[in-house]
Amino acid sequence: MSTASVPLPNWITYGLMPFLNLVVAFLISGVVVWFIGESPLEAVKLLLQGALGNGEGIGFTLYYATNFIFTGLSVAVAYHAGLFNIGSEGQAYVGGLGAALASLALDHYVPWYVTMPFAVIGAAIFGAAWALIPAWLQAKRGSHIVITTIMFNFIGAAMMVYLLVHVLIVPGKMAPETRVFLEGGQLPKLDWLIAMFGGKIGAAPFNVSFLIALFMCVVVWALIWRTKFGYEIRTLGASPTAAIYAGIPYVKTVILTMLISGGLAGMMALNPVLGASARLQVEFVGGAGFVGIAVSLMGRSHPIGIVLAAILFGVLYQGGDALSFDMPKITRDMIVVIQGLVVLFAGALEYMFRPAIVRVWQRFGKA
């Protein structure tokens, strides 16, 4: 037996430990930067400046964060039921179809705020649908959800490319994408929000989806901790045998949870499709589904943690772009390595320092 079950105060578990992990990830990244002959301090400065230094940077950072909030919530909901949904990527991709169809159908006739609810529902339904078969296979057949959702990422990607190249493409055009939505099919920018803090949004695609994401954080929090179904989800995740004892129906709970998870992933599509590019394009998800796994892990599957972790990854994405622009030696790939380190330390190795912290805490913490 070891230190694993020694209780620690919350501020250590939820504050100090993620912070230490982050510091280590950055220290190692710093060493890498130093190795290729750049100054780590300079790099950090550039990164932070690019991400948070002006209104446009912040706009981009929050734009990325919006994606990650949706996918992070998606992973978290499934995780509470003990399900590891690796398929947020594919669910978001297919969700884009639902969102785009709503915009294509309505943008001629109504203003954006009428289209929005339809797009939200469309995205959620399509994303949920893409989670349905893996959920059903897990619930009824015991096929492992990790495997099936990964497979569905590939199937989803192939299907979307087919649809965009053969069905949704604008006749006579080369690019595999839908037509550009009119204003009635777009989500407006949140320039006023940035302006409130004295910044200028510039070209940043920061849009209303961010507010939808925050709203969904509240919804997910209430679902998990304030509803009977959420109670059942948590029971199933924490103790499958206790769930049987309590008569919590396994099949129904697994399928419904995955539908909700898929729906949240699908809603991520609102941000790039309706908010940024105003059309459906291939590969618009760009890995956000996978980042969602790290965000959910790091955020300890709690909406507040997820928002913070999503902003952190937003900073890394936007700041990384800026950094590779200003320091050509630091390529896009290097940025991916740094993001990978953060995922590694904050997600996969989240408990690495726990034994040491426990020892220090036991010796000095209570004095």
Partner 1 sequence: MSPSPTVAPAIELIGIDKKFGAVHANKNINLTVAKGSIHGIIGENGAGKSTLMSILYGFYQADGGAIRINGKDTVIHDSQAAITAGIGMVHQHFMLVENFSVLENVILGVEGGALLGRGVSDARSALKRLEADYGLEVDPDAIIEELPVGLQQRVEILKALYRGAEILILDEPTGVLTPAEADHLFRILGVLRDQGKTIILITHKLREIMAITDTVSVMRRGEMVATRQTSGTTVEELAELMVGRRVLLRVEKGPAAPSDVVLSVRNLTVKDGRGVTMVDNVSFDVRAGEVVGIAGVAGNGQSELLEAITGIRKPASGEIFIHGQSVTGLDAARLRTLGLGHIPEDRHHMGLVLGFEESENSILGYHREGRYGRGPLLDLDACRDDAKAKIEKYDIRPPNCRLKTANFSGGNQQKIVVAREIEHDPALLVVGQPTRGVDIGAIEFIHRRLIAMRDAGKAVLLVSVELDEIRSLSDRILVMFAGHVVGEKTPDTGEQTLGLMMAGIAA
Q: Which is nearer to partner 1, 86 or 224 (CB)?
A: 224
Given 215, 245, 325, 351, the residue binding partner 1 (CB under 8 A): 245
Q: Return the range that interacts with partner 1 (CB under 8 A); candidates 145-153, 228-236, 282-290, 308-316.
A: 228-236
Asked if 231 touches partner 1 (CB under 8 A), the answer is: yes
Considering only residues 132, 159, 169, 234, which one is a binding residue for partner 1 as defined by CB under 8 A? 234
**Cβ atoms of 229 and 249 closer than 8 Å:** no
Q: Cβ 29 to partner 1, closest distance in Å?
A: 31
The residue (of 90 and 263) whose beta carbon lies closer to partner 1 is 263
Separation of alpha carbons 165 and 75, rounded Å: 30
d(CA 66, CA 275): 11
- Rounded Cα distance between 268 and 70, Å, is 5
The reply to whether 363 sits near partner 1 by the rule CB under 8 A is: yes
Stretch that binds partner 1, among 197-205, 227-235, 253-261, 275-283 (CB under 8 A): 227-235
Interface positions, 286-345, toward partner 1 (CB under 8 A): none
Out of 232, 280, 288, 307, the only residue in the binding site for partner 1 (CB under 8 A) is 232
Residue 24: CB partners within 8 Å, gap ≥ 6? 345
In sequence order, what are the residues at sequence separation of 6 or more whose Cβ sits closer than 8 angstroms to the Cβ of residue 109? 184
- Six token digits for residue 283: 């590969």
| Minimum gap (Å) between residue 2 Cβ and partner 1 | 7
Residue (44 or 219) nearer to partner 1, CB: 219
Residues 120 and 273: beta-carbon distance below 8 Å: no
- Residues in the chain, total: 367
Among 158, 211, 246, 356, binds partner 1 (CB under 8 A): 246
Contact status: 227 vs partner 1 (CB under 8 A)? yes
* 2 is a site residue for partner 1 (CB under 8 A): yes
Q: Site for partner 1 (CB under 8 A): which residue of 141, 203, 228, 333?
A: 228
Q: Does residue 239 belong to the site contacting partner 1 (CB under 8 A)?
A: yes
Nearest distance in Å: CB 257, partner 1: 14
The residue range among 2-10, 26-34, 71-79, 169-177 that interacts with partner 1, by the rule CB under 8 A, is 2-10
Are the beta carbons of 259 and 77 closer than 8 angstroms? no
174 binds partner 1 (CB under 8 A): no
Q: Least distance from C-beta 71 to partner 1, angstroms?
A: 25
CB neighbour list of residue 364: distance below 8 Å, 6 or more residues apart: none
Q: Following DSSP, what letter does each residue of 308-361 receive, concatenated?
A: HHHHHHHHHHHHHHHHHHH-TTS-HHHHHHHHHHHIIIIIITTTTTHHHHHHHI
What 3-state class would DSSP assign to 207?
strand
**In Å, what is the CA distance from 41 to each residue of 48, 49, 314?**
11, 12, 20
Q: Which residues bind partner 1 (CB under 8 A)?
A: 1-3, 6-7, 225-232, 234-235, 238-239, 241-242, 244-249, 359, 362-363, 366
